[in-house]
Amino acid sequence: MNKAVSRSLRIALSVAIIAGLVLFARKVNWSTTWDHIAEANLTILLAAAVVNLLSLALKGVRWWIFLRPAGVPSLWLALRATFAGAGLNNILVANGGEAARVVFVARSAHVQSAKILASLALERMFELIGYIVMFVLAVSFLELPPRLSRARPIAWFALAVVVGLMIYLVRRPHLDEVKVSETNATGWKGRVAEFFRHFGSTIGGISTGPRFLVALGLSVAIWAMQVWTYALTARAADFNLTLVGTVSALLAVNTGFAIRATPGNVGVFQALYALTATAFGMDSDQAIAVAFLIQTQQIIPVTLLGVALAPEFIFKKRKTRAVDSGLELHSRAEELVEPAAVTARSGNPRG
């Protein structure tokens, strides 16, 4: 698929999503929704925000599990990049923060970007694995609506696939390392090939059973804390959604967590949460209010904390441009001053 076709499809998808959100928004009683937001318990909302931040910190720890054997021993750097990347994801349409934190860590730790990307790929893989585990547990042990219950075979099949993938990665770390040592990159094609060989080598080298077990445990804890965040927020708004409803809503709004159609997925998140909650007999306008409160905790504190922890993550490019401009001006000044100095040393013929 060429770039023009791919871009056309993305534009068409975005237009369709925006049109659907507009139609959905026209059915919302925004006055009632705002009243529910204004009446929410601030103390409970603060507790929910803290739990959400802790779950994001655990994501940083999970990434560090794979960063450390890749040559980045600093947990603090992993946490800073995780919060900054999440902050960028909140203001960008696509998950641009994921690519940006690879560049940030690679430059800060002076490690090949292929290795950082490989560690991030494993971290993202366990985000998906945690989601699948929660999905399997939900459809197996909770009384879900018929539509979700019918997805039980799909959930178990997905779990079998990811377990097979983990076994495959753990059992063949050394084969890829040998291939990298035999590579002599020439030209841009060779460099690209070498990049992906380093990527594959790192994936194989850092994929071990103990690391996978720790990452899996962290993933389950992260998703459990997300359930807790949703439940606390609903409680703050006096929205008595059951645990089953909360888990179902979490599963629904995260079906497309790898692709964001809008900045921060605003609008899409509210629509999916409300549609799921109403399936459990809850009020749609109040559900939208709760969804806005959940996203307020996920966007504002995370973005502000990300900027505070890693301001150079956002401003480094601008600073680099300023430094480059200064060097260029300094070079031009030297070019102008040097002839004058030579003339002064040899004597001024006009004087």
Domain extents in the chain:
3-310
- pLDDT (0 to 100) of residue 2: 58
- pLDDT (0 to 100) of residue 219: 96
- pLDDT (0 to 100) of residue 341: 42
How much is the pTM?
A: 0.76
- pLDDT (0 to 100) of residue 177: 44
Phi and psi angles of residue 289, each rounded to the nearest 5 degrees, phi first:
-60, -45
- pLDDT (0 to 100) of residue 195: 67
Q: Give the residue carrying structure tokens 């084969």.
A: 175
The rounded average pLDDT for each run of 10 residues, N- to C-terminus, in the chain (351 residues) is 60 57 54 79 94 96 95 94 87 72 90 90 93 90 78 89 90 52 56 70 86 96 96 94 92 72 71 89 90 87 84 55 40 43 43 38
Phi and psi angles of residue 60, each rounded to the nearest 5 degrees, phi first:
-65, -40
- pLDDT (0 to 100) of residue 339: 45
- pLDDT (0 to 100) of residue 328: 43
| CA gap 74, 208 in Å, rounded | 20
Per-residue burial over 132-158, b = 16 or more CB atoms within 10 Å of its CB, e = otherwise? bbbbbebbeeeebeeebeebeeebeeb
